[in-house]
Amino acid sequence: MAARVEQLPYGIGRFSIRLYLLLAALLVIVGWGIFAYSRQFVEGLVVTGLRDIGTMGGATWGLYISFDVYFVGVSFAGITMAALIRLFHLEHLRPVSRMAEALTVVALILAAFSVLPDLGQPLRGIVNLFRYARPQSPFFGTFTLVISGYLFASLVYLYLDGRRDAALLAQQPGPLRGFYRLWAAGYRDTPAERARHERVSFWLAIAIVPLLVTAHSTLGFVFGIQAGRPGWFSTLQAPGFVVMAGVSGIGLLLVIAAVMRAVLAEREQLHEGIFRWLGTLLLLLILTYLYFMVVELLTTTYAGHHHEVRISLSLLTGEFAWLFWGAVAALVLAVIVLLLPFLPPGLRARVPATSPRWALVFGVAALVPASLVALQGLNLLTLFSTGAQRLLAWLAVALALLCFLLLLPYLSRNVVAAGATAGILVNVAAIGKRLLIVVPSQTHGTLLPYAEGSYTPTWVEVSIVVGLFALGALLYILFFKVFPVMEVHAAEEGAQ
């Protein structure tokens, strides 16, 4: 029996010690997040760093909303891949399609979970949002189109897409057989059934494409149609959200695909062509986003009201400059990495072959001062003076840049590593940009002359967000331990 289970493809049902350790660690982090939330549930949102806009000089939306926006953005990946594969017949991308769909579902679950801690009355929220739903509120779109419609459509798509594999896997005896039978639900993979499935998923893909644009736009409208918040009120907000969603979603998909390629025995199916194709798509999306960003900043700083100018200056040279320029730098570095495959072959041949080892050493070395600075920034650890903290921050930047430069020759030869690096960079940038959209307009964007505000997240908020990431990883890993991450080939089945 055990020997037969091992025959299931893609490591399904196989749990190594290392995997158990990873799962245990993730569970501990999730538990810590739940504990942090219990503190907030009992004490109220006073345990967060959020405060009222105006006389209290705070931001009333912070990490929770930023990460809600981020998670919804990441969910862009699945539907895009489905649409690209079905509508444009990009069959060579098929191996990442299920990874992408699962990413969508998990990201949307996390998005729903990150709204919940933001509510002062979460239990009421679950009831009242449906009972007294008002379509006039931009939140209505978030809850109907994104959380319900988008999530439901993605689940249906994932289910239909996996039905054939479930039917194939159900032919083998094993502890999961009942689960596969349930999933297959009578599907037998006859040519007629297969054709019908193709048709259904084609039309479903077509139906989901408008959802892709509208759902990500509604989230942009949550901010973009608030005339009373400088920095938010902009026509470009909704399209900007759609593009940034694409950047973070495709970026995270690249990272996940690279990890899968590293851990799966069937790594050859995740061929380099996938990474090259996704990398180019990501490159185009980043360039579009950078263009949007420049257009918006130019408009607001050149022609905007002095309140708009104040927000722009707080980003460009003020309190948030480190985050803004950090995010921009991450995007530009990602562009450089993604441009590497376009190097002329003659030039590429002259790039010395180096090992990434030293780069990684510098990367880890950069993380040490960076995390110290971050801990001090969050008031969790106060070890240094402001000057020393600034010095440490610059040290981290220098080490990170050194790491990047040393990594470049390696990345120019390894398209998978290049994709993963770009993916990590753009996701860091995406999180930064989300925070920059949400926070400065509240602390620096009051139209009446209130004093400038400030916002520093507390350990509760950070713990809940980290716990959400751990929950996502947990769900993702567990799902692909019971269901194949890529399509099971009929030929493979026949051989067994």
Q: State whether the Cα torsion 116-120-126-128 is positive or negative.
A: negative
Name the nearest CA neighbour of 66 among 465, 466, 472. 465
Among the listed residues 27, 28, 56, 398, the single contact to other proteins using CB under 8 A: 56
364/210 Cα distance (integer angstroms): 42
Please report whether residue 442 would count as binding other proteins according to CB under 8 A.
Answer: yes
Name the nearest CA neighbour of 334 among 247, 421, 432. 421
Dmax (CA) for the chain in angstroms is 75
Q: State whether the Cα torsion 241-229-67-105 is positive or negative.
A: negative
Among the listed residues 31, 44, 173, 175, the single contact to other proteins using CB under 8 A: 44
- For the chain, report the end-to-end CA distance as a whole number of angstroms: 15
Please report whether residue 45 would count as binding other proteins according to CB under 8 A.
Answer: yes
Least distance in angstroms from the C-beta of 332 to other proteins: 31
316/329 Cα distance (integer angstroms): 13
413/401 Cα distance (integer angstroms): 19
Nearer to other proteins, 97 or 218 (CB): 218
Please report whether residue 238 would count as binding other proteins according to CB under 8 A.
Answer: no
Radius of gyration of the chain (CA): 24
Q: Are 68 and 118 in contact (CB under 8 A)?
A: yes
Residues that bind other proteins (rule: CB under 8 A) add up to a total of 47
Nearer to other proteins, 215 or 425 (CB): 215
Please report whether residue 379 would count as binding other proteins according to CB under 8 A.
Answer: no
Among the listed residues 10, 51, 93, 157, the single contact to other proteins using CB under 8 A: 51
Please report whether residue 356 would count as binding other proteins according to CB under 8 A.
Answer: no
Amino acid at 31: G
Residues in CB range of 136: below 8 A, 6 or more apart: none
Stretch that binds other proteins, among 133-141, 194-202, 205-213, 470-478 (CB under 8 A): 133-141
Q: Are 331 and 289 in contact (CB under 8 A)?
A: yes
Please report whether residue 191 would count as binding other proteins according to CB under 8 A.
Answer: no
Among the listed residues 27, 28, 38, 55, the single contact to other proteins using CB under 8 A: 55
Least distance in angstroms from the C-beta of 235 to other proteins: 17
Least distance in angstroms from the C-beta of 138 to other proteins: 6
Among the listed residues 22, 23, 90, 119, the single contact to other proteins using CB under 8 A: 119
Among the listed residues 9, 33, 58, 472, the single contact to other proteins using CB under 8 A: 58
Least distance in angstroms from the C-beta of 339 to other proteins: 39
Please report whether residue 136 would count as binding other proteins according to CB under 8 A.
Answer: yes
Q: What is the dihedral of CA 7, 482, 182, 74, to 10 degrees?
A: -140
Which spans of this chain sit near other proteins (rule: CB under 8 A)?
43-46, 50-58, 60-61, 118-122, 124-125, 128-129, 131-134, 136-140, 143, 222, 226-229, 306, 442, 446-451
